Amino acid sequence: MPPPSKALLKEELVRVLAADLAVRERAYQASREAATHQEAKPENDKDTRALEQSYLARGEALRLEEQRAALADVQAMALQALGESGPVCLGALVATTQDGREDGQETLFWIVQHGGGARLQGGAVLVVTPKSPLGRALLGSRAGDECEVLLAGKARIVRILSVS
């Protein structure tokens, strides 16, 4: 079976990140309203509700900005075709198998800067970032290589079948 189109994967990842952004925007608005609500005003010098709500609102604002930047990065991401013999790099779609999986099933990972953990194409493709242990282990490897990585608390050998 041929690997999925990176253009379709990118479109789907943009939709996932945009949906996450909408959730973050609602969370920020709710925390901001809670921080400025009449009931958040301190009743005495020991009452820190408003202060705590303002910290929460600030944290949500920072997460919102990070999500906006992630969405913009993915939207601007250039898609490139990689040769079968090339190393795993950003934008690579990597077919692997793992020791310890009884089914011996192939797993497709897409190495991109943001959206780690997202499952695309009905769960057939898992997004992995270079910051993750698996992403770090895969980067620079080539088809036919094996790399050891700690997944779910267990050391696993991941075999790279193809890079595209």
Residue carrying the six token digits 């190495």: 111
40 pLDDT higher than 70: no
CB neighbour list of residue 151: distance below 8 Å, 6 or more residues apart:
98, 133, 134
Specify the CATH number for the domain of residue 156. 3.10.50.30
DSSP-based three-state secondary structure for 157: strand
The Cβ of residue 32 has, within 10 Å, a number of other Cβ atoms equal to 17
Alpha carbons 128 and 141: distance in angstroms, whole number = 15
Alpha carbons 68 and 105: distance in angstroms, whole number = 35
pTM: 0.84
Same structural domain, 62 and 101: no
- The residue from 41, 76, 111 where one domain ends is 76
pLDDT at residue 104 in the model: 67
pLDDT at residue 44 in the model: 72
Decide if 1 is inside a domain: no
Decide if 43 is inside a domain: yes
Residues 78-131 pLDDT 10s = 998 877 778 999 999 999 998 755 566 899 999 999 999 999 999 999 999 999
Contact yes or no for 140/147 (Cβ under 8 A) = no
Same structural domain, 99 and 51: no
Q: Which domain holds residue 72?
A: 6-76
Contact yes or no for 13/125 (Cβ under 8 A) = no
Same structural domain, 70 and 124: no
Same structural domain, 28 and 62: yes
CB neighbour list of residue 34: distance below 8 Å, 6 or more residues apart:
40, 53, 56, 57
Decide if 84 is inside a domain: no
